[in-house]
Amino acid sequence: MQSTGYKIVRLANGAHSIHSLGRRETFHPVIGPVAEAEALYVRQLRLVDRIRAHRDEFVIWDVGLGAAANALTVLRAAREVPCLIRLVSFDNTIEPLQFGLRHATALGYFDGYEPHLQTLMQHRIVNFNNGKRKVTWELHRSDFPSLLELPGTKKLPKPHVILFDAYSPATNPEMWTLPLFSNLFELLDPARPCVLPTYSRSTMLRVTLLLAGFYVGAGHATGEKEETTIAANVVELIDEPLDRQWFQRVRRSTSAEPLHEPVYRQAKLSVKTWERLQEHPQFK
């Protein structure tokens, strides 16, 4: 029987994080939850400047709430920015967050947000002042791939940013399929530029995002990885878009074909996928 639950682990740099016993994965390994979130989301996206330049409500989708490290790092960074923020978190469990709150001192990033998180877990929504302006934080506790297929999901506020932080494809393949990212792309507002960074740099993921409709580029290093991935519905939000030279890696890779169903496997690019990839507007 697979073990379940979580434990606190001390990383090489002295930071603490959470390890999932069931998944056998550590959240934000190597550099820790705050440092990774700052590198991947706050600095890479120049997020504070984007929020400051925004006049209306700024919408952030937090896919993979976990123990809330990504969301809280973003909120702390935006404390002094006079802009309304709507944070929409998705996860199928609140167990990591409950565990994290019990070990808030060791983790060190909750920083006074504990009462708001308790309200969020209980009522699925909370409103509070984050420095200079109001935050509305929603929690959708459900299976994310299934949620994206429900008609009511179209009524969710359209995001400007998507923090995508699911468990790895090997242990959580349902969160990395081509149908999931295609459904996610269809939910975006074409008139609202939206950017999606994530920690993986795999060829399979990048092919998947491109086929789903996104523009895709090389993302910033996080300390753990020298390169990550960034996707968007407009190419202007990507500093280093993949070019046709990247095709050489795709053709060589033994793990480039997207997951078409939620079963992990590795496969070379199919002829049909190769043809579709070359037709993407990014490479025209």
pLDDT tens per residue across span 37-77:
999 999 999 999 999 999 899 999 999 999 999 999 999 99
What is the amino acid identity at position 204?
M
- 8 A C-beta contact, residue 103 and residue 8: yes
Condensed to tens digits (0 to 9), the pLDDT of residues 266-279 reads 999 999 999 999 99
Q: Which residue has the tokens 């939206």?
A: 194
Predicted pLDDT at 63: 98
- Looking up residue 174, the CATH number of its domain turns out to be 3.40.50.150
Residues of the domain holding 36: 30-283
Confidence of residue 13 (pLDDT cuts 50, 70, 90): confident
Is 65 inside any structural domain? yes
The residue-averaged pLDDT of 243-258 equals 97
In 14-115 the beta strands, taken as DSSP E runs, fall at 16-20, 25-26, 58-63, 85-91
- CA atoms of 115 and 120, how far apart (whole Å): 9
Predicted pLDDT at 284: 84
Is 18 inside any structural domain? no
- CA atoms of 152 and 212, how far apart (whole Å): 21
Is 17 inside any structural domain? no
Predicted pLDDT at 264: 97
How many whole angstroms from its chain centre is CA 25?
16
Is 15 inside any structural domain? no
3-state secondary structure of 101: helix
pTM, two decimals, is 0.95
Residue closest to 89 by CA, chosen among 27, 151, 136: 136
The residue-averaged pLDDT of 156-173 equals 96
Predicted pLDDT at 224: 64
Give the number of other CB atoms < 10 A from CB of residue 138.
Answer: 18
The residue-averaged pLDDT of 21-30 equals 87
- CA atoms of 171 and 58, how far apart (whole Å): 32
Pick the range with the lowest mean pLDDT from 9-23, 57-71, 155-169, 213-227. 213-227
Condensed to tens digits (0 to 9), the pLDDT of residues 46-56 reads 999 999 999 89
Is 19 inside any structural domain? no
Is 16 inside any structural domain? no
Number of structural domains (the chain) is 1
Residue closest to 237 by CA, chosen among 46, 38, 43: 46
DSSP code, position 43 = I
Condensed to tens digits (0 to 9), the pLDDT of residues 184-214 reads 999 999 999 999 999 999 999 999 999 999 9
Residue 55, C-beta contacts closer than 8 angstroms, at least 6 positions apart:
83
Is 113 inside any structural domain? yes
pLDDT over 80 at 4, yes or no: no
Is 240 inside any structural domain? yes
Dihedral (CA of 54, 239, 187, 139) sign: negative
